[in-house]
Amino acid sequence: KKDIITLAIETSCDETSVAVLKNGREVLSNVISSQTDLHKKFGGVVPEVASRKHIESMNAIIQDALDKANITFDDIDNIGVTYGPGLVGALLVGVATAKALAFGKGIPLVGVNHIEGHICANFIEYKDLKPPFVCLVVSGGHTHLVYIKDYGEYEILGKTRDDAAGEAFDKVARALGLGYPGGPEIDKLAKIGDKDAIDFPRVYLDNDSYDFSFSGLKSAVLNYLNNNKQRGVEIKVEDVAASFQQAVIEVLAEKSIMAAKEKGSKIIAIAGGVAANEGLRALLKKRCEEEGLEFKYPSKILCTDNAAMIGCAAYYDFIKGYRADMTLNAVPNLKL
């Protein structure tokens, strides 16, 4: 049987990324062009700026991904593209590009859910990982606790009721005067700060709920900063970062463990930008060891947005027979 080559395109936010994969799990190239520097001066992603930059970069990045994989358009068996969730203008650039290529070259097209892509990063990292398992998806836009029953079959156990985990990191970082994106900055500072310095709230909601809530914690940090500023008390930024991060990751870790136990899953995987967090990785590693569970986490480049993970998800849909047609459109609030 011949190898299946997938070309994947990801433009849901501020990374323009194109990847080439062999048989879904082998990455031949994964070109990621980050627009972070462009958005930094605004303190966050400006949707219109992101769309325009995607258009400017797209053709060169496709060529780069083909060159690095040492293939041409004729070698491609299917094209996978993120069609949601994300910024509508940004998504449209990827979707329009993928449709044009699919139509022009007569290549089958597969639309991919971005959150599903994040989960699939684990299949690339661990070649023999198979469902079922529990996966915590934590990114700038999403916080989902998911039971992966089979390839492409998901049961959502819980999600955030307000801010996403990454959003909380970014907002607290901004209040602390750190750069954008804030997650990696807080992660760095947390290493030198005291995680027990400030007792920020751990929000578990109802005992048996797998939902999350981070907006109360965010407010608690803002109040702490305001109160101390007013009273002229010196604020140790690294202690705030460490204490805030600890409050987030403890809840993420404990709910994941609870979910794995209830589902009888021996494996917990993590995915999404916040899965790059060193504190979260260390805590879950320790807790999984204590609980006799296996812990899986993708390398950092596969945690944050990239097209390789989209290609992996597209591959599993493709071999199941899923095909998108030329009516494929961006769906900004697409659900898993």
Does position 15 interact with Zn ion (CB under 5 A)? The reply is: no
Does position 6 interact with Zn ion (CB under 5 A)? The reply is: no
Question: Is 78 annotated to bind ligand?
Answer: no
Does position 305 interact with Zn ion (CB under 5 A)? The reply is: yes
Q: Which residues bind ligand KG4 (CB under 6 A)?
A: 13, 139-141, 166, 169-170, 181-184, 187, 272-274, 276-277, 304-305
Q: How far is the CB of 182 from ligand KG4 (least distance, A)?
A: 5
- C-alpha span between 155 and 134 (Å, rounded): 10
Residue matched to tokens 């998504």: 91
Does position 11 interact with Zn ion (CB under 5 A)? The reply is: no
Q: How far is the CB of 207 from Zn ion (least distance, A)?
A: 30
Does position 78 interact with Zn ion (CB under 5 A)? The reply is: no
Question: Is 139 annotated to bind ligand?
Answer: yes
The sheet with strand 109-113 has its strands ordered as 26-34, 15-22, 5-10, 78-84, 109-113
Question: Is 89 annotated to bind ligand?
Answer: no
Question: Is 140 annotated to bind ligand?
Answer: yes
Nearest by Cα to 155 from 181, 123, 131: 131
Cα torsion angle, 311, 312, 315, 320, sign: negative
Residue 125 interacts with which of Zn ion, ligand KG4, none, CB < 5 to 8 Å by class = none
For 231: left if phi > 0, alpha if psi spans -120 to 50, otherwise beta; the answer is alpha
Footprint on residues 225-264 left by Zn ion (CB under 5 A): none
Q: How far is the CB of 114 from Zn ion (least distance, A)?
A: 6
Does position 113 interact with Zn ion (CB under 5 A)? The reply is: no
**Among residues 113 and 139, whose Cβ is nearest to Zn ion?**
139
Site string for Zn ion, 54-73 (x = CB under 5 A): --------------------
Q: How far is the CB of 85 from ligand KG4 (least distance, A)?
A: 9
Does position 213 interact with Zn ion (CB under 5 A)? The reply is: no
Question: Is 114 annotated to bind ligand?
Answer: yes
Residue 170 interacts with which of ligand KG4, Zn ion, none, CB < 5 to 8 Å by class = ligand KG4
Please count the residues of this chain forming the interface with Zn ion, following the rule CB under 5 A. 2
Question: Is 141 annotated to bind ligand?
Answer: yes
Q: How far is the CB of 71 from ligand KG4 (least distance, A)?
A: 26
**Among residues 170 and 239, whose Cβ is nearest to ligand KG4?**
170
**Among residues 20 and 274, whose Cβ is nearest to ligand KG4?**
274
- C-alpha span between 296 and 4 (Å, rounded): 26
- How would you write the chain as a 3-class SS string? CCCCEEEEEECCCCEEEEEEEECCCEEEEEEEEECHHHHHCCCCCCHHHHHHHHHHHHHHHHHHHHHHHCCCHHHCCEEEEEEECCCHHHHHHHHHHHHHHHHHHCCCEEEEEHHHHHHHHHHHHCCCCCCCEEEEEECCCCEEEEEEEECCEEEEEEEECCCCHHHHHHHHHHHCCCCCCHHHHHHHHHHHCCCCCCCCCCCCCCCCCCCECCHHHHHHHHHHHHHHHHCCCCCCHHHHHHHHHHHHHHHHHHHHHHHHHHHCCCEEEEECHHHHCHHHHHHHHHHHHHHCCEEECCCHHHHCCCHHHHHHHHHHHHHHCCCECCCCCCCCCCCC
Residue 330 interacts with which of Zn ion, ligand KG4, none, CB < 5 to 8 Å by class = none
Question: Is 194 annotated to bind ligand?
Answer: no
Q: How far is the CB of 272 from Zn ion (least distance, A)?
A: 6
Site string for Zn ion, 124-143 (x = CB under 5 A): ---------------x----
- Annotated binding-site positions: 114, 118, 137-141, 170, 183, 187, 277, 305
Using CB under 5 A as the criterion, which residues of the chain lie in contact with Zn ion when the complex forms? 139, 305
- Annotated binding-site positions for substrate: 137-141, 170, 183, 187, 277
